Amino acid sequence: MLGRHVCSGNAVKSICRLLLVIICIVALPLASSTSAAATLPKRVAILLFDGVDIIDFAGPYDVLINGGIDVVTVSPDGRAVTTQGGMKVVPQYSYTTVPDADAVVIPGGDTHIVHRDPATSDWIRQRYGRGELLMSVCNGAFTLANTGLLKGLKATTTSGNIDALRRAYPDVDVVRNARVVDNGRILTTGGLSAGIDGALHLISRLKGAGQAQFVAAVMEYNWQPEGRFLPALHAFRIMHQTVADADLAGVGHIEWLVSTSGDDRQWSYVWRVLSSLDSGALAEHIDRTLAEERRQMKMNPPYTASPGHRWSFVDSDGQTWLETLEVTAVPGHPGLHTVRLGVDKRLEIGLTQPTPK
């Protein structure tokens, strides 16, 4: 009886071992599959097109690869594109061959063709329909808005294109006070270098804030996630005109640009100009030239001329500004003048706060 029990116990142990081996063999592919899924890198597709701005795609590209993101490039037909500035770039895929991704980056640049291209709009909507995130950079917001996907959402774009985007797409809530706008599955950024901030924000969405902070540190980039640097609020956006050599034809030329500076309340250009005219006559000449440019361009908002080379105007947000032109001789340098063209936010109607010289 004892021998029979021992034999029976050994048989049970053998069967248990066999079952354990079978379970391990069956579970191994499942475990490998789960592990592979967990470690599969995130992928971002970047749209390229003729006229794309280099920093709009290359800035995010560099940030994303430093964040361990698999970045692929795509153009409508997969053919090489020529960027603004003449760089030739060969994308990896076309709209029909590009693999699935976690997000799509839509850069700006010369977008007058691509932003109204039906195939591009269809492709962007298709990627959104697959659950992929979308992020526009700079005036790539126009391309994104043309798909209809921005309707009813907040968005931003290059500081100089805020008003144009509002006019073109009145159903989009276009804001100035953000460098990156996150609507959940759709993101938009300000202009040019803001694409770097957008890419870091995208990394924080895909891989966590810590990874984004690490990438910013490695790239020696002063990332401010709260967007404290907001060019769209700077008075630079109000500087609709400048002084160029063409404005001085026959009377002088610009020696150098001394400064371009300001903040949200004031901005100015300062040049050194060599001219055969005295300061008063040079100011009159530049004044007439700028006034004629405003007339020809039918500039909006309109300018109201006033004595002393001063023009008052109201911007698209209803804020009144004062633009001033000042020309002074540089002591000890015959024929050399300092020319300053600046804008100041008016505190009240009829009251201005002059910019310190």
Q: Which residues are catalytic?
A: 138
CB-based contacts of 289: which residues, under 8 Å, 6+ apart? Answer: 247
Between CA 311 and CA 289 the distance in angstroms is 14
- Of 256, 281, 251, 283, which is closest to residue 269 (Cα–Cα)? 256
Tell me if 49 sits within 8 A of 108, measured CB to CB.
no
User: Using CA atoms, how far apart are residues 163 and 157, in angstroms rounded to an integer?
Assistant: 10
Which amino acid makes up residue 17? Answer: R
| Closest-CA residue to 108 (of 32, 194, 224) | 194
Strand partners, 135: 105, 187
Tokens of residue 249, six digits: 């034809």
Residue bearing tokens 């850069």: 107
Using CB atoms within 10 Å of the CB of residue 151, give its burial: 0 to 12 exposed, 13 to 18 middle, 19+ buried: exposed
Tell me how far apart the alpha carbons of residues 354 and 357 are, in angstroms, rounded to a whole number.
9
Displacement of CA 333 from its chain's centroid (Å): 43
Q: DSSP 3-state assignment of 136?
A: strand
* Per-position b or e across 179-205, b if 16+ CB within 10 A of its CB: bbbbeeebbbbbbbbbbbbbbbbbbbb
Please say whether the beta carbons of 86 and 27 come within 8 A. no
Q: Return the CA Rg of the chain.
A: 30
